[in-house]
């Protein structure tokens, strides 16, 4: 690795990937390295990690072209399945949501809803929308991060599942703020999606309850 591209500090070690803070030609960068899995054959493991790294990087590049705030990809290291991307200076929404006033909460969650609607309209499923994967900068810009579970789909079901999982996160991690935040999120989502297809938007939102009713993920909760 070039002396102008280097890892400096391990900031997160997960089951799928390790995140390192460092520099890429003078720019503060995040290195996302997919770790080997010893239970897989080495050749198969390398292939899987490489494919997932490339797919995630391509998704980030594509989504950024829609004007959404996601980390800029600097480099894709195929030999050592790693994405080098811009480090986003900010705070995870999860860490300070409870300290925000209601006006700020509504503002942020409506914008998040608009972001996710744009993803869905263009056939992208994030797969892990959580308040830990939303970064708020000092300028109050919202960045969506971690596309490790990203997939491509245009089905009502997959889009509904994406929203449903976010709903579950809000209920479990931010119960006191759930009603206000999820309502604002859905308002933002509808305001954007209905510009393209109002009928499909309604189907996606209505299907959230259907998912709960049939018990695919959790027992139904009549809180939407």
Indicate which residues carry an active-site annotation: 128
As a whole number of angstroms, the distance between CA 51 and CA 184 comes to: 36
Q: In the numeric block, which tokens belong to residue 153?
A: 């789909």
Q: Are 153 and 125 in contact (CB under 8 A)?
A: yes
Distance of alpha carbon 160 from the chain centroid: 15
Specify the pairing of strand 73-77 against strand 124-125.
unpaired
Cα Rg of the chain (Å, integer): 18
Q: Are 208 and 163 in contact (CB under 8 A)?
A: yes
Helix (H, G, I), strand (E, B) or coil at 8: strand
Biggest CA-to-CA distance, the chain: 56
Handedness of CA 204, 210, 212, 217 (dihedral sign): negative
Q: Are 177 and 105 in contact (CB under 8 A)?
A: yes
As a whole number of angstroms, the distance between CA 84 and CA 82 comes to: 6
């Amino acid at each position: 690795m070039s002396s102008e591209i280097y890892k400096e500090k391990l900031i997160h070690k997960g089951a799928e990937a390790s995140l390192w803070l460092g520099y890429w030609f003078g720019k503060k960068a995040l290195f996302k390295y997919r770790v080997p899995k010893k239970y897989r054959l080495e050749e198969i493991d390398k292939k899987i990690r490489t494919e997932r790294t490339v797919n995630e990087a391509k998704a980030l590049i594509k989504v950024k072209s829609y004007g959404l705030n996601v980390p800029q990809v600097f480099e894709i290291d195929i030999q050592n399945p790693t994405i080098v991307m811009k480090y986003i200076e900010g705070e995870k929404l999860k860490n300070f949501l409870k300290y925000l006033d209601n006006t700020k909460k509504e503002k942020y969650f409506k914008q998040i809803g608009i972001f996710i609607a744009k993803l869905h309209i263009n056939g992208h499923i994030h797969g892990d929308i959580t308040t830990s994967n939303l970064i708020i900068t000092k300028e109050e810009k919202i960045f969506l991060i971690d596309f490790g579970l990203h997939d491509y789909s245009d089905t009502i079901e997959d889009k509904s599942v994406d929203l449903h999982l976010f709903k579950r996160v809000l209920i479990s991690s931010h119960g006191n703020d759930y009603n206000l935040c999820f309502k604002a999120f859905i308002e933002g989502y509808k305001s954007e999606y209905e510009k393209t297809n109002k009928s499909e938007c309604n189907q996606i939102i209505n299907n959230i309850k259907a998912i709960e009713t049939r018990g695919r993920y959790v027992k139904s909760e009549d809180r939407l």
